[in-house]
Amino acid sequence: PYLRAEGFVRHRYMSKKECEDIMEAFHAEAPGDLNTSSLHAELHQYLQRRFVEHEEFTEFAYAFICSLEAYRDDPDFELFDLMLAGAVHPSIMQDQETMLRELQTLVHSCADGGIENHSHHNHRGQRMTANGKSFGARDQVTRRVMRAVMQAMFPEKSIERMNCLMKALHQTLQMLFDAGRSANPDAAFVSDLFSATADGTQSPLIEEMRRQHVHEVLEFTAEISHQLIRRAGGESYVNLQGRLDPHILIQREDTIFVLEKNFPEAKSTAMVESAWKLGDEGPQQVAEVLQKFRNNFLLKRENAWVVVGPKAVVEKAVELAPGKLRKDGTKLEDSKVAQRNRALKVLDNPYSRDEKYTPQQLLKETRRVPRKFDEDMPEVED
């Protein structure tokens, strides 16, 4: 409704900071039970309160939508655009905020040697423990500890994505060292890792972490769609583009079977009730069922990120430390854990190039597209 206009609309330039402030103010006033359907109505009402004159209101609305595309490299803009498009549930923002808050708490608990001294102690200026003591204002964390923290908190993260996080960590530490905000390129203050610039830009590590969080939700949504189509017997049905047809009909019982494999019982029951109203037992199209799921629930893996304590980080750090012994007495060399060498150049991970792997395609494609260099590879004659 906020994009309805007759005639021409004058172009209006909006800075990135202005857009960030608008999104932040909107989320502060939006109700807690916001869903995909009510998101547009709430945004319309918010803009009407902020811009009383209709002409100014229309100009800003169009400029705001254009800015979402112009600044899409920022995770905030990418996420808000996906929320407006109905690709993800608005509660993904709360999930991200909770994830980063738990991550920061865990990093503070493991900073400055706290990884070895995570028992209850009372040093002034130290991190918060189970007794409720406050964090140190300038806690420092090393590269090795951050790697252990990420592996403990993201147990199901793929190797490719974990490598992207390590690259982003390297860039963040090097950036802080070059700016004179740390004395060691292998360590940094925790507050600097989670800080943001005046225009809302966060550190490369946090932005990569947030971007992966959104992409994993989109991937999991595509996987659920794929499972529903196969369960409905549509594996052999394709559309004109050669893809699995999402408009095939699926029964309620088949939907329950798929959901119970991916979600807890209470959530799967609520999802089925949102798609099939009381007394409606007939089949529905997979595309319509999935749209109802996206509009009312956040579709993400249960262990996409987990809340852990310093003890789990200690176990990961021991595995990453050369010369340390495991609980069973085996050495690190016996486990063939990859070692890092500072003399090696950090290369771009091929997985981070999204030329053929954009978030929009994650929901449209249920099968992974072939790699580009496979298509360009010439055939070799025997």
pLDDT, one tens digit per residue, over 337-373 is 445 545 444 444 444 444 443 444 555 543 333 444 3
Read off the amino acid at residue 128. M
Average pLDDT over all residues of the chain: 77
Give the integer Cα–Cα distance in Å for 339 and 358: 31
Q: What b-and-e string marks burial along 169-200, b requiring 16 or more CB atoms within 10 Å of the CB? A: bbebbbbbbeeeebeeeebbbbbbbbeeeeeb
Q: Kindly state the average pLDDT of the residues 256-267.
A: 92
Looking at per-residue pLDDT, the higher value among 212 and 132 belongs to 212
Bridge-based pairing state of the strands 284-285 and 249-250: antiparallel
Positive or negative: CA dihedral 245, 249, 253, 256: positive
The better pLDDT of the pair 111, 144 is held by 144
Which pLDDT does position 16 carry in this prediction? 87
CB 206 within 8 A of CB 194: yes
Q: Is the pLDDT of residue 228 over 70?
A: yes
Residue given tokens 């690190």 in the structure block: 332
The span from the CA of 293 to the CA of 257, in Å, is 15
Q: What is the pTM of this model?
A: 0.74
In this structure, how many other beta carbons lie within 10 angstroms of the beta carbon of residue 262? 15
pLDDT higher than threshold 90 for residue 321: no
